[in-house]
């Protein structure tokens, strides 16, 4: 990746990868406001705008610039070369276009009284950079070995809940594959089977995934950020199915869709397993503010680990004895 290509990457996509969601959207989605990623604040002072074919940013308490300037500031890097290497790791090679992607106009804020859950789904526009090709049972050894060796998720469980997804980069015409999970809108949440590239996205539509439990009269729902957290939860509890319902958010921006489903059920308890970081804590706080005493955050159960999969990998490490972890 060179400097010009990096400057045309989507800063909102990068912020989403880092766990930041916009607080306010203006100018049809061409200007997004965030609470500053550089400090704690109540009101958003950081914003990014799509101007002159690229995203630029400005922080009222700091500075501004391009995507490269943001990475150097946010990661405390001293050279453009280091910033480009970081962006290469964040965006799988070939997944950026020679033309900056158009800003997407997102749906209006969700209203449970006025909209159905389906109307609130974020449907990606037809000219989105990635195009879904197909989804099949996982057969590639590369995916299965990555999940088994790197994530400690056995093939039998991966093949039960995940699929092998092929997609095309419309800017280059190249095809790629990843593992993914189908969501409620019929789209696919995907992740590259690589420990080097932390690329994940959604194809066709972004939505939550609901895995019904096996018990009758279910009164508890478990809420996870990602698909590997859900699978890790099953492994840690030594089961292949959960007796309770499970919601995989795939993105913290899917809060309203998770909220809509929970409101439509007769749950008495909502257990959240969001990441032990700033974004995860903010997500947990949103659930607590919305559902009150029904919410039982489970972050302390896997602390000091970042997420459930980190706990699973730590327990399976030769240096760490196995424990009888239960949720």
Alpha-carbon gap, residue 149 to 304, rounded angstroms = 22
User: At residue 199, does pLDDT exceed 90?
Assistant: no
Within 8 A by CB and 6+ apart from 298, the residues are 271, 272, 273, 327
Alpha-carbon gap, residue 215 to 229, rounded angstroms = 21
Alpha-carbon gap, residue 37 to 279, rounded angstroms = 10
In which residue ranges of the chain is CATH 3.90.580.10 found? 3-90
Max CA pair span of the chain:
58
In which residue ranges of the chain is CATH 3.40.1360.10 found? 210-316
Give the mean pLDDT of 34-57: 87
What does the pLDDT read at residue 114?
29
Strand order in the sheet with 31-34: 24-26, 31-34, 46-51, 54-59, 64-65
Is the pTM value of this prediction over 0.75? no
What does the pLDDT read at residue 51?
86
What does the pLDDT read at residue 136?
95
Start-to-end Cα distance in the chain? 43
Q: Each residue of 200-224: pLDDT tens digit?
A: 888 988 899 999 999 998 999 999 9
User: At residue 163, does pLDDT exceed 60?
Assistant: yes
Q: Each residue of 285-304: pLDDT tens digit?
A: 999 999 999 999 999 999 99
Q: Which of 37-51, 108-122, 305-319 has the lowest mean pLDDT?
A: 108-122
Helix intervals (H) in 108-154? 141-145
Q: Average pLDDT over the chain, rounded to whole?
A: 83
Superfamily holding 3-90? Zinc finger, CHC2-typedomain (3.90.580.10)
Helix (H, G, I), strand (E, B) or coil at 191: strand
Peptide bond into 304 cis (omega under 30): yes
What does the pLDDT read at residue 120?
35
Alpha-carbon gap, residue 5 to 2, rounded angstroms = 5
Residue 274's nearest CA partner among 313, 247, 242 is 247
Entry field: residues in the chain: 327
Q: What is the CATH number of domain 210-316?
A: 3.40.1360.10
User: At residue 49, does pLDDT exceed 70?
Assistant: yes
């Amino acid at each position: 990746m060179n400097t010009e290509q990096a400057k045309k990457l989507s800063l909102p996509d990068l912020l989403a990868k880092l766990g930041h969601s916009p607080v306010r959207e203006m100018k049809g989605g061409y200007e997004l406001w965030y609470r500053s990623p550089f400090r704690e604040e109540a009101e958003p002072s950081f914003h990014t705008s799509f101007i002159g074919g690229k995203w630029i940013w400005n922080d009222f308490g700091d500075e501004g610039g391009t995507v490269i300037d943001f990475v150097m500031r946010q990661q405390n890097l001293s050279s453009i070369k280091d910033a480009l290497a970081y962006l290469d790791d964040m965006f799988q090679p070939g997944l950026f276009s020679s033309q900056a992607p158009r800003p997407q106009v997102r749906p209006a804020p969700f209203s449970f009284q006025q909209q159905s859950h389906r109307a609130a789904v974020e449907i990606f526009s037809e000219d989105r950079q990635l195009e879904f090709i197909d989804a099949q049972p996982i057969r590639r050894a590369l995916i299965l070995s990555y999940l088994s060796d790197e994530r400690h998720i056995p093939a039998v469980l991966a093949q039960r809940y995940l699929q092998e997804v092929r997609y095309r980069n419309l800017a280059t015409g190249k095809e790629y594959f990843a593992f993914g999970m189908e969501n409620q809108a019929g789209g696919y949440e995907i992740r590259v089977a690589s420990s080097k590239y932390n690329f994940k996205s959604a194809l066709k539509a972004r939505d939550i995934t609901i895995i019904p439990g096996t018990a009758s009269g279910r009164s508890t729902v478990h809420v996870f950020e990602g698909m590997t957290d859900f699978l890790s939860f099953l492994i840690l509890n030594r089961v292949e199915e959960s007796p309770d319902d499970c919601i995989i958010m795939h993105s913290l921006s899917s809060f309203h869709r998770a909220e809509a489903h929970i409101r439509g059920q007769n749950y008495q308890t909502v257990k959240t397993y969001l990441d032990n970081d700033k974004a995860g804590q903010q997500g947990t706080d949103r659930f607590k503010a919305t559902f009150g005493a029904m919410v039982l955050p489970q972050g302390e159960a896997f602390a000091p680990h970042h997420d459930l999969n980190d706990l699973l990998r730590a327990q399976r490490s030769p240096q760490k004895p196995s424990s009888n972890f239960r949720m």
